[in-house]
A and B are shown apart, each in its own frame.
Chain A
Amino acid sequence: MFNETILIEYLPILIFIVLALGISGAAVIGSLLVAKQKPDPDKNAAYECGFDAFSDTRGKFDVRFYLVTLLFIIFDLEIAFLFPWAISLKDIGMFGFWSMMAFLGVLTVGFIYEWKKGALDWE
């Protein structure tokens, strides 16, 4: 372990995780122990306003959702590249700045392409 001072900073998060696990676990296990469990088919059935369920919960999604997510991932990654750049911009000089500008330029070409293609329109 190269330095443990970083990990000390994460101690509150660890405590938070342990507390969250404890409380949520206590809620689930406590209700299992304390409450009366008498399941029957009607109690376990899916509740749909008095009707029998018409169909499975898994309906088909439109493929357009998928396109939106894919484009979202790409810009998400682009932003991931921006974080280290923003922090170390002072040290890497003009070359680092223009290197990022070229990167953003390439992705802007893609952005213009998708805009002009109408991939962002919902119809």
Chain B
Amino acid sequence: MILAAVFYLFAFILLLSGFLVITARNPVHSVLFLILAFFNAAGLFVLLGAEFIAMILVIVYVGAVAVLFLFVVMMLDIDFAHLRKGAMQYVPLGLLVGVILLTELVISVSAWQFNSLSQQNLAVPEIGLNAATNTQALGAVLYTQYVYAFQLAGLILLVAMIGAIVLTHRVRPGVRKQSIESQNARRPEEAMEILKVQSGAGIS
């Protein structure tokens, strides 16, 4: 009873904030609603018993991906009101594309039949979910049984890292960076000079 109420609460807020993401006028508000949607999705995952995914959703999506979106929104510096001005003239074309896509989806989904064998795969998890916590069940298979997928994930992260650096890193000429080695290598003898100044004579 209370479980159903909580489910409907989370699902309702999730759908509402998902709707507001695409309708909010201010793109920053869209991102904030996206964060709310992430939190509610995490709540739904907890209700399903998938605690680990719920926590990772909060850490990775709310903590990092939402910040990334926020930076994109901030960086673009686009006048959205100005962009929207001519948008109405594309409504017929957009509706046409949308209707075609929807028909295709309906046709393909209605013709879809699950292989009866795939039911078996679902029904047999690797480890009894009651026997261990989420994180344990994941850890027990991820690093040994699925080692190739795991290493592949590492390589994908490496490619993402290098790609991010190649695409966005610019070396600016003429910027004076701090060079700690040369600071440490400086000695008093070469950095300063002690002069005996006669009173009234000044330094030439």
Spell out A's residues near B (CB within 8 Å): 1-4, 6-7, 10, 14, 58-67, 69-74, 76-78, 80-81, 83-89, 91-93, 95-96, 99-100, 102-103, 106-107, 109-111, 113-114, 117-119, 121, 123
Contact assessment for B151 and A99 in the assembled complex, using a CB-CB cutoff below 8 Å: yes
Interface set of B (CB-CB < 8 Å, partner A)? 3, 6, 28, 46-47, 49, 51-52, 56, 59-60, 63-65, 67-68, 71-72, 74-75, 77, 129-130, 133, 135-136, 138-140, 142-144, 147, 150-151, 153-155, 157-158, 160-162, 164-165, 168-172, 175, 177
CB contacts (< 8 Å) of B169 on chain A: these are: 67, 117-119
Q: Which 10 A-B pairs have the closest CB atoms?
A: A88-B139, A84-B139, A70-B164, A96-B143, A110-B161, A73-B64, A103-B154, A106-B154, A84-B138, A67-B168
Cβ–Cβ contact B59 & A76, under 8 A: yes
How many angstroms between the C-alpha atoms of A49 and B16 in the bound complex? Answer: 37
Report the Cα distance A81→B49, complex, angstroms: 19
Select which of B64, B130, B168 is within 8 A of A2 by beta carbon. Answer: B130
- Summed over the interface, the residue pairs from A and B with CB atoms below 8 Å come to a total of 159
How far does the alpha carbon of A110 sit from the alpha carbon of B164 in the complex, in Å? 11
- A74-B164, A93-B144, A106-B151 known; 8 new pairs, CB 8 Å cut-off, are A61-B75, A66-B168, A71-B165, A83-B52, A96-B143, A103-B150, A107-B154, A114-B161
User: Could you say which residues of chain A place their CB within 8 Å of the CB of B68?
Assistant: 66, 69-70, 73
11 A-B residue contacts at CB 8 Å?
A2-B130, A3-B49, A58-B77, A59-B74, A70-B160, A81-B150, A84-B138, A88-B139, A113-B161, A119-B169, A123-B172
**Chain B, interface SS category:** helix
Query: Which of chain A's residues have a CB closer than 8 A to the CB of B150?
Result: 81, 99, 103
Question: In the bound complex, how far is the Cα of B56 from the Cα of A30, in angstroms?
Answer: 36
Partner of A88, one of B140, B154, B160, B172: B140
